Amino acid sequence: MEANERKFSVEVIYVGQGDAPPEITSRLGLPPGTAVLVRRRRYLVEGQPTEFATSYIPLDIAAGTPIEQENPGPGGIYGRMEDHGLVFERYDEEISARMPTEDEARHLSLPAGSPVLHLVRTAVASGRVVEVCDTIMDSAAFVLFYSLPAR
């Protein structure tokens, strides 16, 4: 956004303990019903919502750290995890396209008939899953680009 000189902002909707859907606790390697730290945000470009993201972080990683704050500081939550000795190994992403739920369409102010991209990122550090981020994106606002080695 900065390179294109477009105004970008983030609305923090919620940060606190909560429940994660069963598919998220499964990805985190936690039993169903285990409380996690939930970080819910909405991203806007020039005032227009483009993305709605919810991060789920195990409490043993987040509790008592700046990760529990609305603004965790420079480098965000990953920077704070690194401060505590975690070494990031990889980020696995699953992307699908679909029609939004009513709630998703409302959060993104989407016109009727607008599809979304659903991205689920699993962050792995020091041999364990440390975050699952469930993101809904206005498909008209994004171009996904990947460069992968041939070998």
pLDDT in tens, 86-132: 999 999 999 999 999 999 999 999 998 999 999 999 999 999 999 99
How far is Cα 42 from Cα 49, in angstroms, rounded to an integer? 7
Percent of the chain with pLDDT over 70: 97
Residue that has been written with the tokens 């000189």 in this structure: 5
> φ, ψ for residue 55 (rounded to 5)?
-100, 140
pTM: 0.92
Contact criterion met (CB below 8 Å) for 114 and 139? yes
- Residue 3 confidence (pLDDT): 54
Quick one: pLDDT band at residue 4, thresholds 50, 70, 90? low
How far is Cα 148 from Cα 151, in angstroms, rounded to an integer? 9
- Do the strands 36-45 and 48-58 form a parallel or antiparallel pair, or are they unpaired? antiparallel
Question: Is pLDDT above 80 for 2?
Answer: no
How far is Cα 120 from Cα 111, in angstroms, rounded to an integer? 23
